Structure 1
Amino acid sequence: MGETMNPKVLGIALSDISTGLIFYPDDEALTFPTVISKKKNEDAWVVGEEAYALALDGKGIITDKLLKLTRKNGIATIDGTRYKGRDILKLFFKEIIQVGMEKLYKEKPEEVVISLAGLDQNIMMDIREAFVGLGYQPNHIHIISKEESFIYFVLSLKKDIWNNRVGMFDLSDVSLTYYEMLANRNARKLFVSAESENMDEAFNLQILSNPSGAKLADKILTSVAEKVMDKKQFSAIFLTGQVFSEHDWAENFISFLCSRGRVYLDTNIFAKGAAFKGVDLANENSIYNIVATCEGRLKSDIYIDVVSGGKEAKIYLGKAGDFWNEPTTELLLVPDNSEIIDINVVSVDGKDKKNIPILLDFLPKRPIKTRRIFLKSSFLNNKIMNLEIADAGFGDMYPATDAKRNIEVSIWD
């Protein structure tokens, strides 16, 4: 990564199965099953393997699938008290960070980056509020996708590892996910894209406990690799997930991967990538200087052509690489065409372009260039933009009315 300061950064990889922690600059990761137990008749909580042990002894009440519980706004009744899912998740964060600080002799982190799959506004708000409630500053809490943490992990390595396509297989007891990353440099910036695909061929890891099951698992993974990798060549292929720490059972799978590129194993890629992202954010100037397009990031430039001060210009509603939950633009516009505003969409490589006409027929009829509108744009995800359009009137000649509309716009089909 080169020379940089050593900020106090915590990278967290969160899922319903396990949660990994990295306190930068350490390479040592702590991994916890994503479960929590409340000690019976006490206001005390334990997490991970200790939570399982407490429940097995009959001294604790265990709660699992914390992410799922939070996503569905669920309630858990524990020791006679009802807890919201997001409150239990907050307790879990508190306990794992405390355990991590004690085991690794660390101080409270200043920058926290949480990596998870399936970003949406509600889960991001719940996680952010949990950390604010634990005393962290809102502008030092960052939530990114697993695809983005994969990008930052790979870019932290030597360039010859990512000078071509990079693949990764993430295997757990509930899922098999394939990731692929590609970097392209222009004169000023490094453009990096990452995508992932959840494979239907996921299997229960218990089948690895006997030779015939292990042989079947090897066959499944080899078949999946042949399908998703096709004839492409890779500068590197990564395996992640605790199950790969012992990989003798996957002989044919790994042999196939080696025919496509160098193969590496790291069971804590997402937590490490989250930590590297945090270091980048903590620096005054970006270490990587990239435009990342992945889950959580816009993959296109979205803009309106305008004339301002007699000169043609573009007003961007969002740019490729922007986090979709952040760009909010408010404008006062006087459309040349009183019935339409044209939204332009251009892919990050400039090859795909799209024009989206937004009809203004719900606004009062007025002569051309006397219809002034208020426009506010925001993004629901990296494919859907929300436009709030309202009549702003035109001085004393045409007072503003209550006419307004919210319009969801599909950026790409």
Structure 2
Amino acid sequence: MAEAFYIGMDLCTDFTQMSYYNDITREPESISQLNNKETYMMPNILFYSRDTEHWYVGGEASEARFSEDGIIVDSLFENLQNTEPVEIAGKKYTYRELFLMMIKLHVDSFLYRYEQAVVRKLVISIQEYNKEIHQILSDLYKIMDVPEEAIEITSHMDSGLYYIFNQEQDLWVNSVALFDYNADGLDYYRIDISRNKKPEIITVIHEDYSSQMSLAKYGTDTHSMDNDFSRIADYEVKEAYISSVFLTGIGFSGKWMKKTTNVLCQGRRVFVGQNIYTKGACYRAVGGEYKEFYDRFFIETKENVLFDVGISLGDEKDTFVPVAEGGKQWYNTHGKVEVILDDTDKVGIVYRGRHTGTEARETVMIHGIPKRPNKTTKLSLSVEFENPTDGAIIIKDLGFGKLFPTTNKIYRKEFSIKNL
């Protein structure tokens, strides 16, 4: 019987990290490079060997390029908009095709270590929403030959929350600090928990320090970097009572923090690791008990939808039927229901704040459908979001079987919900 894995992937510009869920330890475990057990950051490069007529990825590609005759393919992120085809071994590829091949090969390089291993769920974490990358990754399930729902895309912020709230509770009894120091600079996230309300509220505050701290700015001057970071850290940890601090990103590699260590370690626990996002994505892939914090807390981030979208059945109880439930990232907020009109040509739309319960309502008139007997018009309603507050409700006429064929009419009602 094939072994099925839950996999988390942190997909960055230059490197990819992966982890898998260990059923025995009940924890995500980082996946090392096949040819270097001490390295978990896999370069985002491909190499086609003319000698073996074989594709290599990551560390194996880096190694093979020096020992075999072939073609190296790198800068895949930077070339995603490049429409010029790349010809390799007599076959033409687009950079988008090579990008998807790279991701598949990263996963395959792990699966090949087990007999008949398959992907049960793959969650890919990227820094933040990117429309182009999301569109490209939407086709990944096809080349990986898995169900569409087996692959999901999330953000570093969401992965960070999954990781932090699946650690021991003592680490998040108060606010949590997350510093991310990557090639683009330093970002700071403070995760606050309001426990005097039900449900409890998680709020994420973001500060962009990239203009003050970047890897390019310091070069080898780690002394100045330590001084600048200690000043920023000292300011931020005094703004709230911090239980724990998490440091991630290539900027925190090396032992340059001396002054900063004294600042951060005063009465709080500090963790440094490059695998926070990949392990958080792995927790999300598993779901179940690992997503219970999303049920316990009301989570407010800049990417989460804070309201439900549904319809009113118009009955005596004014029954609310959700079409799309909020509480998660807007690009992962979807939903669809089917309804049968009962002596009406209207659909009552309801927007309900998840935390406040406050509602906003509007009515959509269904025009242009032939007159049919009562309860013989079926509609489908789905919701799509453009950002956390704006989106549209799509209403389609489904007809009613062979007796009353569909008109194929589609109605689009856009919405913008700012305060609920």
The TM-score bracket by the shorter chain reads 0.7 to 0.9
Q: Counterpart of 2:7?
A: 10
Runs (5+) with no aligned partner, structure 2:
23-27, 32-39, 369-373, 400-405
3-state DSSP of counterpart to 2:242? coil
Aligned counterpart, 1:92:
102
Q: Are positions 1:153 and 2:150 aligned together?
A: no
Which residue is equivalent to 2:314? 307
Q: Retained in 2: the 8 A contact 1:145–1:296?
A: no
Provide the C-alpha distance between the structure 2 equivalents of 1:58 and 1:205, rounded to a whole number of angstroms.
Answer: 34
Match of 2:275 in 1: 268
Distance 2:157 2:132 in 1: 19
Distance in 1 between the 2:48 and 2:212 partners?
Answer: 32
- Number of aligned residues: 389
**1:301 CA displacement:** 2.7
Does the Cα contact within 8 Å between 2:313 and 2:348 map onto a contact in 1? no
- The match for 2:388 among 358, 365, 382 is 382
Picking from 167, 170, 174, the partner of 2:180 is: 170
Aligned residue among 247, 261, 265 for 1:258: 265
Q: Give the counterpart letter for 2:156 in structure 1.
A: K
Deviations 1:300-332 (A, max 9, x none): 233444422x22222223223256343234445
TM normalised by structure 2 equals 0.74
Q: 1:112 aligns with which of 93, 108, 122?
A: 122
Q: Name the amino acid aligned to 1:16.
A: T
Matches within 5 A, 1:236-385: 236-248=244-256, 250-259=257-266, 261-281=268-288, 288=292, 290-291=294-295, 293=299, 294=301, 297-308=304-315, 310-322=316-328, 324-331=332-339, 343-346=350-353, 348-350=354-356, 353=358, 355=360, 357=362, 363=367, 376-380=381-385, 381-385=387-391
Asked if structure 1 preserves the Cα contact closer than 8 Å seen for 2:191 and 2:202, the reply is yes
Any conservation in 1 of the 2:334–2:382 contact (CA below 8 Å)? no
Per-residue deviation at 1:15?
Answer: 1.2
Q: Is the 8 A contact 1:7 1:279 kept in 2?
A: no
Aligned residue for 2:245, secondary structure, equals strand
Q: In angstroms, what is the RMSD of aligned CA positions?
A: 4.3
Counterpart position of 1:397: none
| Residue equivalent to 2:136 | 126
Deviation at 1:88, TM superposition (A): 1.2
Relative distance call for 1:401 and 1:28 in structure 2 (3 A) is closer
- State the partner residue of 1:3: none
8 A contact 2:175–2:190 mirrored in 1:
yes
2: CA distance between counterparts of 1:156 and 1:261?
A: 18
Q: 2: CA distance between counterparts of 1:10 and 1:119?
A: 20
The question of whether the paired residues in 2 share the 8 Å contact of 1:233 and 1:260 is answered with no
Q: Secondary structure at the match of 1:274?
A: helix
1:150·1:270 contact (CA, 8 Å) conserved in 2? yes
CA apart distance, 1:388: 2.7
1:138 is aligned to 148
Q: 1:39 pairs with 49, 57, 62, which one?
A: 49
Amino acid aligned to 1:408: E
CA distances 1:30-64 after superposition (whole Å, capped 9, x unpaired)? 22122222335864222224434555679443333
Would you say the 8 A contact 1:333–1:375 is kept in 2?
Answer: no
Higher mean alpha-carbon deviation, 158-167 vs 201-210, is at: 201-210
Which of 20, 27, 30 in structure 1 is aligned with 2:29? Answer: 27
- The partner residue of 1:406 within 388, 406, 412 is 412
Q: Which residue in 1 is equivalent to 2:242?
A: 234
Question: Unpaired runs of 5+ in structure 1?
Answer: 1-5, 365-369, 394-399
Once the two structures are TM-superposed, the CA of residue 160 in structure 1 deviates from its matched residue by 0.6
| Cross-structure match for 1:77 | 86
* In structure 2, C-alpha distance between the alignment counterparts of 1:402 and 1:106, rounded to whole Å: 44
**CA distance in structure 1 between the partners assigned to 2:302 and 2:91 by the alignment:** 37
- The amino acid of 2:418's aligned partner reads W
Indicate how the Cα distance of structure 1 residues 132 and 337 shifts in structure 2: closer, same or farther if over 3 A, else same.
closer
Aligned: 1:61 with 2:71: yes
Take 1:197 and 1:68, find their aligned partners in 2: how far apart are those partners? 26
Percent pairwise identity:
20
